[in-house]
Amino acid sequence: MSFSKIRFPHPFYLLLLTLLISSSVHLNAQERYKIVFPNVNFFAGTPLEDIDGTSDKLVGILDAVKNEFAFRIAMNSFQFPRALMQEHYNENYLETDKFPNADFKGSIDGNVDWKTNGTYEVVAKGEFIVHGVAKFYEIPAFISIQDGENKIKAVFEIQLEDHQIKRPKIVMLKIADSAEVTVEATLEAF
């Protein structure tokens, strides 16, 4: 029997097969989590002025199988204690009309046993796009699992210069070089 005599299945059946395989991957969908009840805060103040903004408009998904994540936040959703501060943040510094979202996408380093209670230290690695400027970040984060309730927390620094967020010299004493960002959220399977 020559090689050419072997009958391969018709491409149509192969197509069906691949569709079946890919749908079985989707059966793992419960291993995907989405962000709920987020709280994002940043502080860029100095002893002269408290500059801090808070938002609850973070969205994101975390794929526990592929260890991948994607987060996005509407930058104009940050609320400030002073209206003028909020206006300057939107108009002058983050230019939120031009750059409406900040995106953070990448992979997660570290083992998380999603079925066992505990706190797991992981590192989120990926491109963080703020003010339209992408930079690679490695952000340590904690995922805590307590009776099916999963929470994530991370604290990290952003250098304003890295994202071309410009401060005029006249306000340099009031606005810090870097912003400390705190993210807390619940991860809900979906």
Partner 1 sequence: MRYLVNSLLVLCIVSLFSCNLYAQDLDDLLSDLQSEVATSQDVIATFKATRVINGHSVEMLAKGDLEFRIAHRFGRLNTGAVDLWGLDLADNRIGFDYGITNWLMTGIGRSSFNNVVDYFLKARITRQQTQPQNLLQHFSINWYSNVMLDGRPNPLGSWTEDIDQRFSYAHQLIIAKKINDRFSLQITPTAIYESYVPTAEDQNLRFALGTAGRVKLTNRVAITAEHFLRIPFNGSDISPDFQQNNNSFSVGFDIETGGHVFQLHFTNSRSMVERGFIQQTNGTWANNDIHFGFNITRNFTL
Task: Pick between residue 134 and residue 171 the one whose CB is nearest to partner 1.
Answer: 171
Distances (CA, A) of 14 to 17, 21, 23, 37: 5, 10, 14, 43
Q: How far is the CB of 121 from partner 1 (least distance, A)?
A: 25
- 123's CB contacts (< 8 A; 6+ apart) are 108, 109, 110, 138, 139, 140, 141
Report the chain's C-alpha Rg in angstroms. Answer: 22
Work out which of 39, 41, 95, 186 binds partner 1, going by CB under 8 A.
95
| Alpha carbon distance 151, 65 (integer Å) | 17
Amino acid letter at 105? K
Work out which of 83, 111, 113, 116 binds partner 1, going by CB under 8 A.
83
Task: Pick between residue 70 and residue 123 the one whose CB is nearest to partner 1.
Answer: 70
Considering the rule CB under 8 A, would residue 172 count as an interface residue with partner 1? Answer: no
| Alpha carbon distance 141, 128 (integer Å) | 15
| Alpha carbon distance 52, 138 (integer Å) | 23
C-alpha of 137 from chain center: 11
Considering the rule CB under 8 A, would residue 98 count as an interface residue with partner 1? Answer: yes
Task: Pick between residue 171 and residue 189 the one whose CB is nearest to partner 1.
Answer: 171
33-62 mask for partner 1 (x: CB under 8 A)?
-xx--------------------xx-xxx-
Work out which of 39, 46, 54, 86 binds partner 1, going by CB under 8 A.
86
Considering the rule CB under 8 A, would residue 125 count as an interface residue with partner 1? Answer: no
C-alpha of 72 from chain center: 6
Considering the rule CB under 8 A, would residue 11 count as an interface residue with partner 1? Answer: yes
Residues that bind partner 1 (CB under 8 A): 3-4, 7-11, 14-15, 18-19, 22, 34-35, 56-57, 59-61, 70, 72, 74, 76-77, 82-84, 86-88, 90-92, 95, 97-98, 101, 103, 105, 168, 170-171, 174
